[in-house]
């Protein structure tokens, strides 16, 4: 059976799906990277955790996560040095308060294409905040991304007399001009002082313009101990089994105390440059499509692109199982690295054509020529490549 990347088949996911998927990938990465260790007694682990808490608290001020900490944690996001100049600390905002946690926009960038938001969630005394899709049986690494505390989240909370609460955070999609704007990336880190810090990257529809007025919908859901055989369940798969196994985690949702709050903010576009739109006529007969236009929009954060293409040979396109995608190549024929924006996605248009959008590492100037190669996102088969001259004519 062939592996299938269902992002290509179904277009852009919504915010809740993205949050859940990223949490699942986070868990898988944790399982893959977890080394074999000798068993610790719970009391010894708790004692070590307590020492680490005191040591970490002294360094809390130096350990605040910022925008570029998130963007560059797994790879170089390819932003330009001047990107630091368009970061806004404590932008205009209102709301976000609550009895369980308060939310604050720590810093943000809006470059006319994407909004990158770093949000603090500060808990009330006695609470431990968990990210979306994070639960008590998970290791503390799910919150801290390090192995310094060898406890599960539930053990850590019990050792420190903390009640756990799950935080959800996403951009409202019903504001004027934001009907198509969805969170395309969500990550979080637990800082030593207990603040849970989020980073969201949000693709902003062009009709919004230079002034972005948005609202973050914030929820905090406390967890309470549940009787045996009741409460929240999780599913897992045993080796060589296709049937999931359900298990209770010993906690349930305290539905009476769920907090819902809104954090409104205003951002002004900065660092934007003129878009280059080039009309083209590049045929890719092996996969049955034609590239009609490319648009490039430079920013210190990334070089955003759109590739407009049309199916010209239904049989060849069907043979590729509708898995046609494009990649930009450098002078050596190597794929150019992705930028800070979302992973590439293709969206069908009302006229039957498609638009692939994404971002490349930021560039100090617009290229006059690009090499564009088609490939099959299912099989990774490569098709034709063309060096295209970007004349700047409207598509």
Q: Are residues 34 and 111 in the same domain?
A: yes
d(CA 225, CA 249): 9
Q: What's the total number of domains in the chain?
A: 2
- The residue ranking higher by pLDDT, 75 or 68, is 68
Q: Are residues 376 and 322 in the same domain?
A: yes
Closest among 170, 130, 165, 153 to 17, alpha carbons compared: 170
- The residue ranking higher by pLDDT, 15 or 176, is 176
d(CA 377, CA 343): 13
CATH code (residue 357): 2.60.40
Q: Are residues 70 and 216 in the same domain?
A: yes
pLDDT of 263 above 50: yes
- The residue among 268, 291, 316 that closes a domain is 268
pLDDT of 22 above 90: no
In a domain, 372, yes or no: yes
What is the β-pairing status of strands 93-95 and 259-268? antiparallel
Mean pLDDT of 365-386: 92
pLDDT at 373 (0 to 100): 97
Q: Are residues 288 and 181 in the same domain?
A: no
Task: For tokens 């590239």, name the residue.
Answer: 291
- The residue among 211, 243, 268 that closes a domain is 268
pLDDT at 372 (0 to 100): 96
Q: Are residues 85 and 212 in the same domain?
A: yes
Can you give the residue range of the structural domain that contains 297? Answer: 276-389
- The residue ranking higher by pLDDT, 3 or 153, is 153
Q: Are residues 262 and 326 in the same domain?
A: no
pLDDT at 184 (0 to 100): 63
d(CA 99, CA 167): 13
Whether the model clears a pTM of 0.75, i.e. scores above it, the answer is: yes
Structural tokens at position 174: 């019903």
Question: Cβ–Cβ contacts within 10 Å for residue 227, how many?
Answer: 9
Whether the Cβ atoms of residue 338 and residue 357 lie closer than 8 Å to each other: no
In a domain, 169, yes or no: yes
Alpha helices in the chain (DSSP H): 6-10, 15-33, 42-58, 67-71, 141-144, 153-159, 314-319
User: Which among 49-53, 59-63, 239-243 has the top mean pLDDT?
Assistant: 239-243
- The residue among 220, 244, 268 that closes a domain is 268
pLDDT of 92 above 60: yes
């Amino acid at each position: 059976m062939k592996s299938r990347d269902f992002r290509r088949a179904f277009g852009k996911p919504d915010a809740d799906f993205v949050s859940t998927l990223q949490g699942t990938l986070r868990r898988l990465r944790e399982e893959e990277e977890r080394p074999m260790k000798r068993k610790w007694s719970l009391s010894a682990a708790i004692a070590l955790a307590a020492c680490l808490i005191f040591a970490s608290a002294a360094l809390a001020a130096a350990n605040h996560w910022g925008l570029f900490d998130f963007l560059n944690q797994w790879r170089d996001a390819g932003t330009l040095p001047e990107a630091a100049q368009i970061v806004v600390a404590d932008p205009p905002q209102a709301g976000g308060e609550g009895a369980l946690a308060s939310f604050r926009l720590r810093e943000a960038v809006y470059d006319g294409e994407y909004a990158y938001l770093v949000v603090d969630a500060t808990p009330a005394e006695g609470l431990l905040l968990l990210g979306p899709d994070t639960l008590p049986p998970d290791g503390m690494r799910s919150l801290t991304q390090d192995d310094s505390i060898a406890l599960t989240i539930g053990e850590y909370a019990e050792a420190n007399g903390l009640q756990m609460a799950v935080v959800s955070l996403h951009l409202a999609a019903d504001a004027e001009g934001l009907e198509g704007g969805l969170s395309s990336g969500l990550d979080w880190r637990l800082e030593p002082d207990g603040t849970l810090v989020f980073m969201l990257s949000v693709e902003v529809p062009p009709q919004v313009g230079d002034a972005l007025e948005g609202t973050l919908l914030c929820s905090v859901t406390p967890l309470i101990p549940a009787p045996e055989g009741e409460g929240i369940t999780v599913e897992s798969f045993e080796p060589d089994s296709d049937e999931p196994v359900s298990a209770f985690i010993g906690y349930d949702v305290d539905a009476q105390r769920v907090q819902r709050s809104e954090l409104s903010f205003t951002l002004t576009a900065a660092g934007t440059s003129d878009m280059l739109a080039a009309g083209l006529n590049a045929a890719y007969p092996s996969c049955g499509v034609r590239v009609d236009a490319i648009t490039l929009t430079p920013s210190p954060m990334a070089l955003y692109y759109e590739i407009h293409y049309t199916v010209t040979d239904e049989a060849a396109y069907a043979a590729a199982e509708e898995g046609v995608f494009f990649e930009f190549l450098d002078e050596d024929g190597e794929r150019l690295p992705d930028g800070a924006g979302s992973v590439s996605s293709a969206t069908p248009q009302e006229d039957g054509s498609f638009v692939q959008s994404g971002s490349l590492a930021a560039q100090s100037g617009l290229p006059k020529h690009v090499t564009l190669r088609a490939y099959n996102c299912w099989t990774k088969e490569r098709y034709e490549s063309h060096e295209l001259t970007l004349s700047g004519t409207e598509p």
